[in-house]
Amino acid sequence: MTGKALVTAFSLIGLLGLWIVAATLTADATILPTPLALVGPFLQELQSGELLFHLGQTLLRVVWAFVLAMGIGLALGLLMGRFPAVDRWLDPWLVVFLNLPALVLIVLCYLWIGLNETAAILAVTLNKVPNVTTMIREGARSFDPNLDAMAKVYRMPASTRLRHVLLPQLAPFIAAAARSGIAVIWKIVLVVEFLGRSSGIGFKIHLYFQLFDVRMVLIYALSFIIVMLVVEWSLLQPWERRVRRWRTA
């Protein structure tokens, strides 16, 4: 356990070392500044409240899109997995949406709905729903038919059945969908902000891209990567451990 953590730490330190070497060889702070050169401006952005504001904006969009995509994907996946007739009708749509490039959906949402928050969140949600649906459908197809029969014969109420029979069987699929969901969603949110919002990390990256300010681009990007890693470690992984407890007990 600690051995694994140690390897992770050394591996990350190695990456940092590589960065320092590359920065030294480049010897041009406007192209690749050293990590140390980022500390000053980082603290400044933190103190002015600018960094936290934009981080908050992006995080809010990520949460909205995540909740919507998971909710809609869960419902659709359950329906399609449980009812073959629904599956036959919706599957072609799924294939179309799965193969629609993220950029196309984003641009179309902005063109049709306007450059606003609704369009931004809808674009991200639509990008993720097909993936979640596919994964949950897989889970719903693998339900144990004997447990279904058991619940039916003992006349368990629908709500109990959903909560204690179906959802626990889906838990590994929900966890996988949530994991890949978070990973993809925050990246798409940055693109959405880059293209049509005036707040958020993506907007700041766009701004400093136009100013060719590599330093600030790195500061904003890295800050958000760290936030997402903290979310993964402090929320997602503990939740996964909790729902898996019965397997390891």
| Residue of 92, 101, 157, 238 that binds other proteins (CB under 8 A) | 157
| CA–CA dist 210, 22 (Å, integer) | 24
11 counts as binding other proteins under rule CB under 8 A = no
Length of the chain (residues): 249
37 counts as binding other proteins under rule CB under 8 A = no
Rounded to a whole number of angstroms, the minimum distance from the CB of residue 174 to other proteins is: 13
**The tokens of 64 are what?**
């909205």
176 counts as binding other proteins under rule CB under 8 A = no
Number of alpha carbons in the 13 Å side-chain half-sphere of residue 211: 11
160 counts as binding other proteins under rule CB under 8 A = yes
Side chain identity at residue 196, one-letter code: G
Neighbouring CB atoms inside 10 A of 4's CB total 8
147 counts as binding other proteins under rule CB under 8 A = yes
1 counts as binding other proteins under rule CB under 8 A = no
| Residue of 5, 154, 158, 238 that binds other proteins (CB under 8 A) | 154
| CA–CA dist 5, 38 (Å, integer) | 26
101 counts as binding other proteins under rule CB under 8 A = no
171 counts as binding other proteins under rule CB under 8 A = yes
59 close to 223: Cβ distance less than 8 angstroms: no
152 counts as binding other proteins under rule CB under 8 A = yes
SS (H, E, C) 13-59: HHHHHHHHHHHHHHCCCCCCCCHHHHHHHHHHHHHHCHHHHHHHHHH
85 counts as binding other proteins under rule CB under 8 A = no
| Residue of 4, 11, 36, 246 that binds other proteins (CB under 8 A) | 246
243 counts as binding other proteins under rule CB under 8 A = yes
Q: Which stretch binds other proteins (CB under 8 A): 62-70, 71-79, 165-173, 182-190?
A: 165-173
| CA–CA dist 58, 199 (Å, integer) | 8
| Residue of 149, 225, 229, 235 that binds other proteins (CB under 8 A) | 149
The H-assigned helical ranges of 114-213 are 117-141, 145-153, 158-160, 167-196, 201-210
Q: Footprint of other proteins on this chain (CB under 8 A)?
A: 144, 146-147, 149-150, 152-157, 160, 164-165, 168, 171, 243, 245-247, 249
